[in-house]
Chains A and B, each alone.
Chain A
Amino acid sequence: MSDNSDVEVEDEEEYKYGLQDDSEPQDTRPTVVLMGQKRSGKTSIRKVVFQKMSPNETMFVESTARITKDTVCSSFINFETIEFPGQMCPFDHTLDPVNTFKKCGALLFIIDAQDDYTDAIRKMADYFAKAYRINSKIKFEVFVHKADGLTEENRVETKFEVYHAVKEELKELGIKDLQVTYHLTSIYDHSIFEAFSKVVQNLVRQLPTLERLLDIFNQGSNVTKSFLFDISSKIYVATDSLPVEMSIYELCCDMIDVTLDISSIYGSGEYGIPFDEHSAAVIKLKKTESWSFYSAKSIDSWHSSRLCAVRTSKSRDISNTTSPVSRRASKKYST
């Protein structure tokens, strides 16, 4: 059976992949494949998340005519995004689908929630099935996109509808144990960053270790929540084992924005890079019960940064202790 042998080869490759941890050759970096109908927002997502384009400007983005590859690389995140234009079938023989999907870590299918998505779902189920046959380890993710145009109830309903439609389609194609994750996204708020974070976390091999380390750090320094962020894309690579509140993640994103924006005005040196090894920011917020929020930030490379939030009433005592501790902790991560 050709299917079986495929899987075996896959296993072997995965094993090799784990061993060559340090001297990772260029082409083994996992890929994130973006697919979707025409005008569903694939390019806009890429531009907003990885190129810091403001959402309003994406209106002028032209439709993508060919396959676009991009490398995203920082200390923990290291992957390649491949975008297939909607009119192109990624499983065309000329495009070498076997090779593409062997390397594929996550397959994102973007659905325009404001449009009629029956065709899109049929196509998606077909693609998912084909990709699954090539590589069963792919994480399948569906972005129910452009959710900003829907009302609160409509969003949940749409997600539910998509979920069921996909399930039906996959059943018809005879594939049972294919796991699909659904995200409601919009480029006009933080949901796209959150969703992309979840996708990327699946590709980070050190995730459990990072989580443990962040937990230890929290306990040791009286921090209630900490994230490990990729500064340039606002993707969080890891967080501690406590659940993530969306509002706190949003706040962190905003803090990163403020820090970068101010740094780029006053701190960009000769090379125009606003971030260097001494970058840090402390932002204090007050609430009626004098809650404080700390983002003690120090970087282990130019891209990644830790951000921790401390909630306490004795803000002043802690301000002096968090930064050195976090710096020490981040040193630990970088090694």
Chain B
Amino acid sequence: MSSRRKVLLMGKSGSGKTSMRSIIFANYIARDCSRLGPTIEVEHAHVRFLGNLVLHLWDCGGQESFMENFLVSQKDQIFKNVQVLIYVFDVESREFEKDLRYYQSCLEALLQNSPKAQVFCLIHKMDLIEEDHREETFKKREADVLRYSELAARPHQVERENAVCQCFKSSIWDETLYKAWSTIVYKLVPNVGIMEEKLKKFAAILDADEIILFERATFLVIAHAETREHKDSHRFEKVSNIIKQFKLSCRCHFELESMHVKNSSFSAFIDTFTANTFIMVVLRDGNASVAATQLNIKLARPHFEKLE
């Protein structure tokens, strides 16, 4: 049985909603996004994710006239039955206050119509900020967003402390976009818990440092299990980004099947796993037997196929 999730994508005009949607779900590369035109009213996209999960993306045009419409005449239609709202802020926006007020209105409308929806905010286009100031700017913007979220949530007496789940900084030019979307998607996939449980067992059997499960088309991280601490907490989205770039660059001629990268201190296997996933197994031993590991991956496949 397939389950549908309604995902609203909102934000000021030109903040990058369609760009990020195209990169994650439609295999665009960052450079191509400059060709995208503004979205008129609402663009609907159905994305099949992990086989039976269908994301119904509502990419809402951000021009003011559309926004007014959404908030007044189309209010019910837009904000009913929403599972997730993703609100995109342009970090360099000159009218951030105004953006925030629109955000507040949207959030109020959302909480009225679908009080259970989860809200994620992306502070986008972070690449335009100099690297030294990124964290600082993000913190400032995040505080603003949280303040307005609270304002919106107060009259509705929501049980949650804050209407917004999480703020992310993102940029289409680096891996932060994958981080944000992986976290969002993680909340949408059913039985992630069981999958992680199984992955942990599998990791223990293989004596692997780490196992990561990726969605096949988007290469977003669905689940992961680690048996040893790794110093780099951003590695998942980095790997997503690396492999996705590689997949895209060789897409016109070939399709990736599997990959084995090693040196003396590690050995990493990336392989097609179930019909909807790729798996990555990282072993500490650089001399790990290739055939044995690949066989193990193959044998684990049916167990995970049952889960989907």
Q: What residues make up the interface of A, taking CB atoms closer than 8 Å to B?
A: 56, 188, 247, 250-251, 254-255, 257-259, 261-263, 265-267, 269, 274-287, 291-293
Contacts and interface: CB of A to CB of B under 8 A. Distances in A.
Given A251-B254, A257-B246, A286-B255, A278 B262 contact: yes
A284 B257 contact: yes
Contact of A259 (B239, B258, B261, B290): B261
B265 A267 contact: yes
Given A259-B261, A279-B263, A56 B246 contact: no
A247 B250 CA distance: 9
Nearest to B255: A286
Interface of B: 31, 127, 173, 209, 230, 232, 235, 238-239, 242-243, 245-246, 249-250, 252-266, 268, 282, 286-287, 290
Nearest to B258: A284
B254 A287 contact: yes
Nearest to A54: B173
B260 A281 contact: yes
Contacts of A275: 263
A258 B247 CA distance: 10
Contact of A285 (B31, B209, B254): B254
Q: Which of A267, A275, A276, A279 has the most CB of B within 10 A?
A: A267
A255 B270 CA distance: 13
B31 A188 contact: yes
Contacts of B282: 266
Contacts of B261: 258-259, 262-263, 267, 280-281
B259 A258 contact: yes
B262 A258 contact: no
A107 B242 CA distance: 35
Contacts of A265: 232, 235, 238-239
A105 B282 CA distance: 45
B214 to A, nearest CB: 13
B202 to A, nearest CB: 18
Q: Which of B127, B245, B257, B282 has the most CB of A within 10 A?
A: B257
A188 B29 CA distance: 12
Nearest to A255: B246
A247 B253 contact: yes
A156 to B, nearest CB: 21
Contacts of A279: 262-264
Contacts of A56: 127, 173
Q: Which of B245, B260, B263 has the most CB of A within 10 A?
A: B263
A286 to B, nearest CB: 4
30 contacts: A56-B127, A251-B253, A258-B242, A258-B246, A261-B238, A261-B242, A262-B239, A263-B263, A263-B266, A265-B239, A266-B209, A266-B235, A266-B266, A266-B282, A267-B261, A267-B263, A275-B263, A278-B263, A278-B286, A279-B262, A279-B264, A280-B263, A281-B260, A282-B260, A284-B256, A284-B257, A284-B258, A284-B259, A285-B254, A285-B256
